[in-house]
C-alpha cells in the first residue's frame, strides 16, 4: 500500500512539473499566500503585505487542501489509520531509519526524544547554549522529563568545539556526585545562527565522539530538509550520523501541523509511549498525515526560498546608506539574521517601520508595502522565507527596506 501510494504521488508530481509542485505547496508565481492586498479608496489595491516572521506562517495550497479533504480518517490508536502509517513509512524511508512516528509538534518530538533516550533520573544531555531546545522550549527537558542539560558553546556556524564538547561528558559515572551523560543534541539547520547548515564532517566527528563514550546523538532537524537541499544530498546522508532525528512538517514544507520523529524501532516504540503520556496521541490523523505526505515529496521547492533569502541579504549589504550588518556568506538557507549599525535605530523601531505604511510611501513606491519581521534574539532581526513568498514578494521587501533606510536617514538629518 505504501509503495504504491509513494509511486503514484511521485508520478503525478513529476508529470505536473514545477507549477503543480508550487500549487501543492501553496506558492504562486504571481503572489504568495502570505502576500495579501489591502484596498485603498475606491477599491484600488494600494497595500501589499509580505510576512517574513517565520516559515510557520506558510499555508497549504489547493492540492494539499484537496488531499486533506479526501483522506481516509481512521482510528490511529489501534494502528488502523493507513494515511498516518504511510506518512511514517515514507519518512522512515527518506531518512533510511527503521521507523518513524507522527507527532503534533516539533517541540514535542524533541521532548519525546529526550525522554526516550534519557530514561534514568540521573541522566544528562548536552545541548548548544543557543539551541532551540535550550533557549525556546521553557526548559521542557527539565520541567517535564526530569533531564538535566549542560551546554556547549554554539559557534557562529552552529557547530561546537569538539574538545569542549568532550569535556562536557562525565567520565566518573557511577560516582554518586555526577550525573550520567546520555545524549548529545545538535540542531540542523541552526535557527539562532541564521539557518546555518552543519557540515557533514562535523556531524561525523560528533557521532564518533558519542560512540567512543557510549552516548546517543539526537538531531533537532526541524529544518533538516533545508540542509539537505543546501548541501545537495539526500536527507539520509545527513541523518546517518545521528541515532534519531526530528522534522517539522509545518515550517518550510508547508503542512498545517505536525512533526516526525525517526530512529530505531525499539526507540520509536518507547517514543510512542511517551507521546501518549504527553497527550500527543491524536487518534484520527488522516487529514493531517495526508498533508505531511505531500510536503515530504516537495523538498526541492525549498531551493527558491534559499535563493530569495540570499537576494534579500545581498540587498541589505548593498544598502545605501549602510544601515545593516549582515554576513551574506552565512546565509545558506531560508533565514536571514541581521543587525543595525545605527545605535539610535532600535530593532523594535525598524520592524515597526517595516510593518506600517509610512508617510510618502505610496507616492514614492506606487503602493504601500508592509513587511512583517521581528526582533528575534538579543539585537538580531530575523526574516524567514517560505513557500508563501515569491521572488516578486522578495523584491517588494527590498523596496520597503530601502525606503525605510532612506526615510530614517532623512529624519535623522532633519533632527540635527
> Do 131 and 190 sit in the same domain of this protein?
yes
Are both 261 and 373 inside the same structural domain?
no
Chain centroid to CA 275: how far? 21
pLDDT tens per residue, range 234-245? 999 999 999 999
Beta strands in 244-314 (DSSP E): 244-248, 259-263
Model pTM score: 0.89
* Locus of grid cell 483522506: 71
Q: Which range marks the domain in which residue 304 is found? A: 47-57+300-410
C-alpha grid cell for residue 191? 535557527
Q: What average pLDDT score do residues 99-109 get?
A: 97
Give me the pLDDT at residue 23, please.
Answer: 47
pLDDT of residue 73: 84
Q: How far apart are CA 377 and CA 216, in angstroms?
A: 29
Label residue 79 by pLDDT band (50, 70, 90). Answer: low
CA–CA dist 246, 112 (Å, integer): 10
Number of independent structural domains in the chain: 2
Q: For residues 301-323, give the mean pLDDT.
A: 95
243-268 pLDDT per residue, tens: 999 999 999 889 999 999 999 999 99
Are 137 and 277 found together in one domain?
A: yes
Q: In this predicted structure, what is the pLDDT of residue 17?
A: 43
CATH of the domain at 392: 3.90.1150.10
pLDDT given for residue 177 in this prediction: 84
| pLDDT above 80 (res 4) | no
Whether residue 189 is preceded by a cis peptide bond, meaning omega within 30 degrees of 0, is yes
250 and 393 both lie in a single domain: no
Largest interatomic CA distance in the chain: 77
- The per-residue pLDDT of the chain, averaged, comes to 89
pLDDT tens-digit series, residues 338-396: 999 999 999 999 999 999 999 899 999 999 999 999 898 788 999 999 999 999 999 99
Domain check: are 349 and 266 in the same one?
A: no
Rounded percentage of the chain residues whose pLDDT exceeds 70: 88
Residue 333 and residue 264 share a domain: no
pLDDT digits (tens, 9 = 90+) for 179-235: 999 999 999 999 999 999 999 999 999 999 999 999 999 999 999 999 999 999 999
In the predicted structure, residue 5 carries a pLDDT above the cut 60: no
Q: In whole angstroms, how far apart are CA 388 and each of 56, 252, 336, 391?
A: 10, 9, 16, 10
**Model pLDDT, residue 35:** 44
Domain with 222 in it: what CATH number? Answer: 3.40.640.10
What are the phi and psi torsion angles at 404 (to 5°)? -60, -40
In a domain, 8, yes or no: no
Residue 30: pLDDT band (50, 70, 90) is: very low
Per-residue model confidence (pLDDT) at position 27: 53
Could you tell me the pLDDT band of residue 65, with boundaries at 50, 70 and 90?
A: very high
Q: Quick check: 41 pLDDT over 80?
A: no
Amino acid at each position: 500500500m505504501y509503495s504504491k501510494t509513494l509511486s503514484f504521488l511521485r508520478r503525478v508530481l513529476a508529470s505536473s512539473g514545477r507549477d503543480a509542485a508550487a500549487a501543492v505547496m501553496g506558492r504562486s508565481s504571481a503572489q504568495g499566500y502570505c502576500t495579501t492586498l489591502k484596498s485603498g479608496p475606491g477599491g484600488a489595491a494600494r497595500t501589499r503585505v509580505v510576512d517574513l516572521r517565520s516559515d510557520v506562517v506558510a499555508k497549504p495550497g489547493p492540492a494539499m487542501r484537496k488531499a486533506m479533504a479526501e483522506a481516509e480518517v481512521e482510528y490511529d490508536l489501534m494502528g488502523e489509520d493507513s494515511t498516518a502509517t504511510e506518512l511514517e513509512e515514507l519518512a522512515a524511508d527518506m531518512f533510511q531509519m527503521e521507523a518513524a512516528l507522527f507527532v503534533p509538534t516539533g517541540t514535542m518530538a524533541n521532548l519525546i526524544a529526550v525522554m526516550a533516550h534519557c530514561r534514568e533520573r540521573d541522566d544528562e544531555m548536552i545541548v548548544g547554549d543557543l539551541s532551540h531546545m535550550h533557549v525556546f522550549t521553557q526548559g521542557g527537558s527539565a520541567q517535564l522529563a526530569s533531564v538535566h542539560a549542560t551546554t556547549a558553546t554554539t559557534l557562529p556556524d552552529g557547530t561546537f568545539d569538539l574538545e569542549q564538547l568532550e569535556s562536557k561528558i562525565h567520565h566518573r559515572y557511577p560516582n554518586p556526585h555526577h550525573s550520567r551523560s546520555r545524549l548529545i543534541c545538535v540542531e540542523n539547520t541552526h535557527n539562532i545562527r541564521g539557518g546555518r547548515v552543519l557540515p557533514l564532517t562535523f556531524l561525523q566527528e560528533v557521532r564518533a565522539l558519542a560512540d567512543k563514550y557510549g552516548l546517543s546523538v539526537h538531531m533537532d532537524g526541524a529544518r533538516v530538509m533545508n540542509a539537505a537541499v543546501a548541501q545537495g544530498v539526500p536527507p539520509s546522508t545527513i541523518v546517518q550520523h545521528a541515532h534519531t532525528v526530528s522534522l517539522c512538517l509545518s515550517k518550510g514544507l508547508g503542512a498545517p501541523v505536525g512533526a516526525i520523529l525517526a530512529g530505531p524501532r525499539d526507540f520509536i516504540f518507547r517514543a510512542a509511549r511517551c507521546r501518549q503520556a504527553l497527550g500527543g496521541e491524536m487518534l484520527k490523523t488522516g487529514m493531517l498525515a495526508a498533508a505531511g505526505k505531500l510536503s515530504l515529496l516537495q523538498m526541492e521547492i525549498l531551493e527558491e526560498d534559499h535563493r530569495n533569502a540570499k537576494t534579500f541579504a545581498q540587498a541589505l549589504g548593498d544598502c545605501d546608506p549602510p544601515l545593516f550588518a549582515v554576513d551574506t556568506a552565512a546565509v545558506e538557507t531560508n533565514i536571514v539574521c541581521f543587525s543595525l549599525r545605527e545605535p539610535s535605530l532600535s530593532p523594535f523601531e525598524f520592524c515597526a517601520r517595516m510593518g506600517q505604511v509610512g508617510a510618502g510611501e505610496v507616492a514614492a513606491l506606487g503602493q504601500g508595502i508592509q513587511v512583517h519581521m521581528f526582533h528575534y534574539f538579543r539585537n538580531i532581526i530575523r526574516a524567514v522565507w517560505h513557500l508563501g513568498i515569491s521572488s516578486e514578494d522578495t523584491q517588494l521587501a527590498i523596496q520597503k527596506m530601502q525606503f525605510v533606510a532612506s526615510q530614517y536617514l532623512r529624519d535623522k538629518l532633519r533632527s540635527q
